[in-house]
Each structure stands twice: as C-alpha cells, then as structure tokens.
Amino acid sequence: MNTAGKGRLVALAAVAVGATVALAGCASGDPLDSGSSTDGASSETIVVGSQDYYSNEIIAEIYAQALEENGFTVDRQFRIGQREVYIPEIEAGEIDVFPEYTGNLLQYYVPDTTATTSDDVYAELETSLPEGLRVLDQSSATDQDSYNVTKEFSDANGVTSLADLAKVTTPLTLGGNSELETRPYGPEGLKSVYGVDVAFTPIEDSGGPLTLKALVDDQVQLVNIYSADPNIKANDLVTLEDPEGLFLASHVVPVVSEKVTDEIAEVINTVSDALTAEDLVALNALSVDEQQSADQIAKDWLAEKSLF
Amino acid sequence: MNLLLDGIAWILDPANWTGVGSIPERIAQHLAISATVLVISALIALPIGTLVGHTGRGKELVVTVSGGLRALPTLGLLTLLALWLGIGLQAPIIALVVLALPPLLAGAYSGLESVDRRTVDAARAMGMREGQIIGKVEVPLGMPIIVGGIRSATLQIIATATLAAYIADDGLGRFIFAGLKTRDYAEMLGGSILVILLALAIDGLFAIIQRLVVPAGVRATRTRELRSRPPRPRAVVGRPITEGNPE
Amino acid sequence: MNWLWSNLDLVGELMLTHLALSVPAIILSFVISVPIGWIAHRYRWSRGVLLSLCGLLYAIPSLALLIALPIVTGQRTTSPINLVIALTLYGIAVIVRTAADAFDAVEPDVRQSATAIGYSAAGRFWGVELPLAGPVLLSGLRVVIVSTVSLATIGAVIGVQSLGSLFTDGLQRGIQAEIITGIVATMVLAIGLDWASVAIGRMLMPWWRPSAAERRRTLDRVERVDAA
C-alpha cells in the first residue's frame, strides 16, 4: 500500500509536470505567440496582424488571402487588442503587415497634430513613423471618427452639421470610447472649434450596438461611430458634417515592417487600390448583418474583384 | 516598481480628488454598486440557503445550480445582458449578483449544517418550533460560516465591480479602462491600487464581524477544540470532514 | 444558430486555445498551493499570514493584473504566459485554504502511527498525509478548475485570444448567438475538466470510493471552500 501509493503519487506528479510542460508548449505555440516567426528572415512567412475589431480583421484577412494567392506563406495573428497593445509588437518586428487608419495612427504618434486633410495626414504620417516601419499606399476607403445623431434629433433641431449644434438649447451628451474624452476632437475640440458644450458618457464598444442603443434610447444625443459602420445607414442616423475639419481624415493604410519586399508591397497596394469606401461599408454589413466570417467575406470580395 | 510609484503618485495627486469623476466620487460609486449587489444577492441566496441547510432537502439541486453559476463567465454574461439592456447599471448589477450567489448560498447552508444535529434535536425536544430553531439556534451557531460566505462574496464583488465600467460610467473600473485606452498606466495602476485597498478595508471589517458573531458560549469551547480534536470522529456519517472552527 | 454552424471551426480552435491557457494554470496553482497549504497546516504561526496573503490575491482586479504583470515579467502584454501566470495566482488564492484544511483533516493519531512505525518526515508526507488529504485537495482543485476556465475569458479584453474573444467580438458586431456560444462553450470546458479531474482522482486514489453520501459531502466541500 505504501509503495503502491507512493508510486501512484510519483505518477501523478509526472503526469502533472508532463501535462504542464506540454500545455505550456501549446500555449507558446499558440497563434498569438509569434516567437517562432522572428527566427530567421530566411523563412518566407509573412505575419499579418489585425486589431480586435471585426472590420479591421476583414481587411487583414483580405491582405492575407491576397498574399497567399500570390504564393506567399502567411501567419495570421488576428484580433490583438487595441493600438496600445499591438503597436509595440509591430515596432518590435513581430508583425509584418497590419491594416491601420492614417488619421488615428498619426494621432497615436503625434497627438497634437494639426493635419486634417487626407494628403496632409498621409504626408505627416510617413515622416512620423519610427525606424523600421513604413506605410504603403493609402486606400480610398475611409473608416474615421464621425459624430452622429438620430434622424428625429436632426429634424427636430435642424442639425446637419457640427456647427448647427451650437444652437441646440437642450443639454447634449456625447457617447464614445473613454479615450475620446481626452482626444483633440472630443468634448474640448467641440467647444473650442464649434462652441458646443457637451457632457461625456464613456461606452467601451467602439461605436457598436451599445453606443447605438444608448443613442436610440436618448441616453446620449451625439455618438462617435466609425464612418464605415453599416449601422449608420441601417438605423437612419445622420452623420454631422465637419466644415472646420475637427476630425482627421482616416484612410485604410497598411503599416509594414522591413521584411516586406516590393513584391509583397505590390500585392497589398493592388488590394488597397481596389478597396473603396462603399466596399468597406458593404463588407462590414456582411459581418454584422449576415454574420459571415472574415474568411468568407474576404474570399468573396477577392473573387468578385478578380485582382490576381 | 517605478510604475507602482507612479500609481501611488497618481492617487496622491490632489487634482484627482476634485471635480467630475474624482477619486472620492468613484469610490462612492464603487461602494454603492457593491452594496446594491450584495443586498440583492443576499435577499435571494440567504433564505434559500437557510432553508436548504435547515431541511437538508434540495441540496443536490442547489449545489449543482451554484456550481453552474460559478462556471458562467462574468464577462460573457455582462456582454450578453448589455446587448439586451443597453448601457447603465442594470447589466453589471445582474452579472455581479450571479457572481455573488454561489458563495452566499454555500455560506448559508453549510453554516446551518455545521450545527451539531444533537443540538438541533435538543432544541426540538425542548419544544422549539422550526422557525425558532432556525432563528435562535441554527443561525446564531452557523453565523461565522454565514458571514464567511458574505465576506467571500463581497471580496469578489468589489474586485469584479471594476468590469461595470465596461458597460457603465461607474466605479473605480473607470480609471482602469480610461488608463488602458489612453496608455496612462499611472492612472490604471492607481485605480487598481484603490480597488485593492478598498477590498482590503472591507475584508478586514468582515474579519472583525466574523469574530464578533461567534456566540459567547461557543467561543470558549471552540478555541480549545482547535487543538484537542476528539481522537476519533463521533458520528462519521454526515459529519463534514473538517467541522469546527471556520478560521 | 446560423452563426454557430458557419463558425464551428473557430469555436473548436478557441476551445483548444482556451484549454492551453487554463490547464497549465490549473496544474500550476495546484502544484504550488499544496506545499503552501502544508506549511500553513504544519506551522500554525504561518497560517494566518499565508492564508490571508493568498486570499487577498483575489482582491486584485483581473484587468489590472493582466496589464501590470508584463511590466514585472518582461513578457509582451498579449503573451499567453501573462494570462497563465495571472490565472495561476487566482487559482492559488482559491485553493490554498482548502489545501491547509485538507492536511488538517488527516487525523493526528494516524500521523503519529505513521511516525511510530518508522516513517521519516518526508516518507510520511508522501506515503500518508498527501494520499489521505487527497479527496479534500481534489475538491479544492475542482473549484479552481471551474473558476479558472471561467476567468480565462477576461484575457479577451486586452487581446489574449480565448473563448472570451467571442464575447468582445459578439458585442462589437451585436451577435447574441456568438456570445451565447462563448458562454456555453466555456461552461462545457469547465464541466468536462471537472469530470476529468474526478476520473483522475479515482485512478490515483483507488481506496477512495465515494458513496452517494460521500459524494454529496465532497460536493458540499467544494461549496464550503468559499465560506471557510
């Protein structure tokens, strides 16, 4: 009994240690851990990353499939959080291709930038990126911050532009991700550029269904929703014009590492060139309304455009 | 370590102690939501747990259900409820109540069960009605374990109430989310330190309560029992393996 | 349901990833907690300090821990290793008290008998105390399994893939089926691992034949961990 028990316990310990090691191995061999991708520029594997944002994942998947169609090997590292999490990984050379947005990315590197037009933003972005990173051509597709109100609100108050908000007498609350509160185009920007006073309610779903519901329920009157969001159209929201250029133009643009050769760049530039603003809204709608996977959406789009 | 100091410096910065969304305001909100959740979940769990502990019936069911509740991921529940209910406090409150139910239930029924059956039989023999047995014998004697359940639930509520900020503009979690999104790690760590301190303070309070609720007559025998356990269990059947001092 | 059928691959893949995150954390927290629990049991003076310290790990908000850990460990924020370490710490918080209780539950006269028939301190631990503490240790392990599997979903908020990714993605896209699938899959994993742990427990402790009453008591024990 004694030795048998002891033997079993040793076996237990061995199983436990073995399983831990094996699973830890699995964990580090997890698709998220790109440790293996860095060893050797000789391997032709290109690491494509994406934000934790469904629309961004679709674009990344299009890049990935386009590259695969052209004979490259792709390692997908999708849905890695928000900018503050993945930018350090791109800078460390862990990721080679990442879909980004010109305006938002510029603001990350140059928080107090004054550029607003798409050309100015792109030009400044090119010079602001850290050593070893560059952006390829920007697409005409945009996905930028925009302030939206309900149709009823717009009609009742005669508001179609941010400037019109100044004449609204009822108190206004702006809803958006918590970082919006401190961004130049947040409440302070509205005040200084358009003379509009707003309160702020943070809603952490990046202009998703919670934000939308809060707007429809009149918990907030003004919300920040990305311009390519199909919900704007589906819910008959009015995107307020921005005559003074409070928002930065933000086009889809790939950020790439030094590993990206001219051939790779050409493939991705072809994609960027073909992707229009309307396309992006339509692709997003397929994801939200039809609940299609990024894989499917990307495959269908590439087939439809027959780029390669 | 530097970051920890930054976090402490953030807490000590007087600018963070005034205005909208100041530290005192967030602490008050955090306490308010935690207290609300605790009261709602206690109103649900304690009567059920007491009844199960007293009658010994329905325990399998309660254990299974609370095991299932424990396996429910709070984040999933929160996001699902948020889709239904929208922003505001309803979704986080319901999700947190679900989180708090299992420890409260467990505390209540095992508190009552820990009471020696002979004591209960004696009470019944003395002519006490069932309600009196619960109120005057079982609950007072089981109180340390019941309070232990409340204590454990409270600790979890306070730590997890930070997730409320994912859905609502409320509580100390706001500092964590805002800090995360703007890469202001001092704010994020400062907020976390505040949550930990708050949890520590409340937990300390419960430790004291847990000591105070031990009935005086029991206290004297308990301390002795701790070291000189009876050499052999008297009634093996139905006796939890480690009965006795919950400490 | 439409969503589920067209995304079965994704769900399966995430379940594996989720396992790869939670199982190492569960095993590590068990392996670390047993000695701590034994020390708390053996040296009374250390008990209060050890149990309170470990219990307080639970007071650390998980999000904050996930962000703060990489600063300490030097790992990347999205590295699964961070999540495993965080889950291990929470696991320890849950199980240490039970581990101490498990060793307390070994009858003193059994221990003395073992010494009397010539066991060394180490031999007594491996041959007598640990096996006898086994059933209670297992009950604590079962709580850790359920809570760890459920907690691993939080990593999704900072970008560590797991079944929790279905929550964040489902919220963004407003797909309820996706969130519900995530919840159900998480619970299935938790219950599956729980069964597995009981099966392994039976294999390693053949003398442990839980009767219906005893099984109830073990279940009970699982619940009591909270209150203790």
Is B39 a residue whose pLDDT tops 90? yes
- β pairing state of A45-49 and A134-135: unpaired
Residue by residue, DSSP assigns A45-105 as: EEEEE--SSHHHHHHHHHHHHHHHHTT-EEEEE----SHHHHHHHHHTTS-SEEEEEHHHH
* Cα C31 versus chain centre, distance: 10
Which range among B59-63, B64-68, C76-80, C121-125 shows the weakest confidence by mean pLDDT? C76-80
Tell me the mean pLDDT in the region C135-143.
87
Asked if A27 has any chain C CB less than 8 Å from its own CB, the reply is yes
Q: What percent of chain C has pLDDT over 70?
A: 89
**Model confidence over A42-54: pLDDT tens digits?**
357 999 999 888 9
Q: Do B174 and A179 touch (CB under 8 A)?
A: no
Q: Answer whether C68 sits within 8 Å of B203, measured CB to CB.
A: no
- Can you give the pLDDT at residue A80? 79
Enclosing domain of residue C167: 4-227
Binary contact (A213, B86; C-beta < 8 A): yes
For A89-128, the pLDDT digits (tens) are 888 888 999 999 999 899 889 988 888 899 999 999 999 9
pLDDT score, position A31: 39
Whole-angstrom CA distances from B211 to A84, A259, C97 are: 46, 65, 18
**Are B181 and A84 an interchain contact pair (Cβ–Cβ within 8 Å)?**
yes
Q: Which residue has the higher pLDDT, C188 or A88?
A: C188
pLDDT category at A296 given cuts 50, 70, 90 is: very high
- What confidence score (pLDDT) does residue C155 get? 86
Residue A39 DSSP symbol? S
Neighbours of chain C (3+ CB pairs under 8 A): A, B
The helix or strand, by DSSP H or E, that contains position B154, with its residue range, turns out to be: helix B139-160
Q: What is the mean pLDDT of chain A?
A: 85
C127: which chain A residues are within 8 Å (Cβ-Cβ)?
A: 2, 5-6
CA distance C41 to chain B (A): 12
Q: Measured between beta carbons, which residues in chain A are less than 8 angstroms from residue C79?
A: 32-33
Rounded CA-CA distance A104/A84 in Å is 12
H or E stretch covering C78: none
CB B30 within 8 A of CB B165: no
The partner residues of A76 in beta bridges, in order of sequence, read: A48
CATH of the domain at C58: 1.10.3720.10
Q: What is the pLDDT of residues A10-62, one digit of tens each?
A: 554 555 555 554 444 444 434 343 333 333 333 579 999 998 889 999 999 99
**B102-122 average pLDDT score:** 89
Contact of A82 with chain C, judged by CB distance below 8 Å, is answered with yes
Could you tell me which CATH number the domain at A147-239 has? Answer: 3.40.190.120
**For residue C91, what are its two tokens?**
């696991």
A7 close contact with C: CB closer than 8 A: no
pLDDT of A100 reads 96
CA neighbours closer than 13 Å in the CB half-sphere of residue B125? 6
Residue C55: the pLDDT is 76
CB pairs under 8 A between B and C: 183
Domain total in chain C: 1
Q: What percent of chain A has pLDDT over 70?
A: 86
Strand partners, A47: A75
- CB nearest to A182's CB, from B83, B87, B182: B182
**Residue with more model confidence, C129 or C32:** C32
pLDDT in tens, A237-295: 999 999 988 888 999 999 999 999 999 999 999 999 999 999 999 999 999 888 888 99
Which pLDDT belongs to residue C53? 82
Tell me the mean pLDDT in the region A80-88.
Answer: 79
Chain B interface disruption, residue of A206, A213, A215, most B CBs within 10 A: A213
R_g (Cα) of chain B, nearest Å: 21
What is the nearest CA distance from C163 to chain B, expressed in angstroms? 9
Confidence of residue B228 (pLDDT cuts 50, 70, 90): very low
CATH H superfamily, domain B20-216: MetI-like (1.10.3720.10)
Mean pLDDT of all residues belonging to chain C: 83
Q: How far is CA B115 from CA B223, C182, C217, C228, in A?
A: 16, 41, 15, 14
pLDDT of residue C111: 85
Phi then psi for residue A207, to 5 deg, are 75, 25
Whether residue B36 has pLDDT greater than 90? yes
Report which of B11, B29, B19 is spatially closest to residue B194, judged by C-alpha positions: B11
Q: Record the tokens describing residue C228, joined without a space.
A: 């203790």
Most confident of A176-190, A237-251, B31-45, C86-100: B31-45
Output the CA–CA distances (angstroms, integers) from residue C108 to A15, C40, C132, in the order listed: 30, 16, 12
Interchain contact B173–C (C-beta under 8 A): yes
Contact (CB<8Å) C77/A28:
no
Could you name the CATH architecture of A40-143+249-304?
Answer: 3-Layer(aba) Sandwich (3.40)
Q: Check residue B229 and give its pLDDT.
A: 43
Dist. CA C56–CA C59, nearest whole Å: 5
Percent of chain B with pLDDT over 70: 88
Closest CB from C56, C213, C226 relative to B152:
C226
Where do you find CATH 3.40.190.10 in chain A? 40-143+249-304
pLDDT of residue C58 exceeding 90, the answer is: no
Say how far apart CA B64 and CA C191 lie, in whole Å.
Answer: 11
Please state the φ and ψ torsions of residue B114, each to the nearest 5 degrees: -70, -15
A interface test, pick of C14, C19, C76, C178 with most A CB neighbours within 10 Å: C76
Q: Give, to the nearest 10 degrees, the angle between helix C80-104 and helix C130-151.
A: 150
Contact C224 B80 (CB under 8 A): no
Of the pLDDT bands very low, low, confident and very high (cuts 50, 70, 90), residue C77 is: low
When comparing pLDDT for B184 and A306, which is higher? A306
Q: What pLDDT does A162 receive?
A: 94
What does the domain layout of chain B look like in residue ranges?
20-216
How far apart, in whole angstroms, are the C-alpha atoms of residue A288 and residue C175? 7
Does C154 have pLDDT greater than 80? yes
Cβ–Cβ below 8 Å for C80 and A85: no
Predicted model pTM: 0.81
Beta-carbon contacts of residue B204 (< 8 Å; ≥ 6 apart): none
Better-predicted residue by pLDDT, C160 or C215: C160
Given this model, what pLDDT does residue B223 score?
Answer: 46
Q: Which among A146-160, B145-159, B191-205 has the top mean pLDDT? A: A146-160
Q: Between B65 and A147, where is the model more confident?
A: A147
Q: How many CB pairs under 8 A join A and B?
A: 43
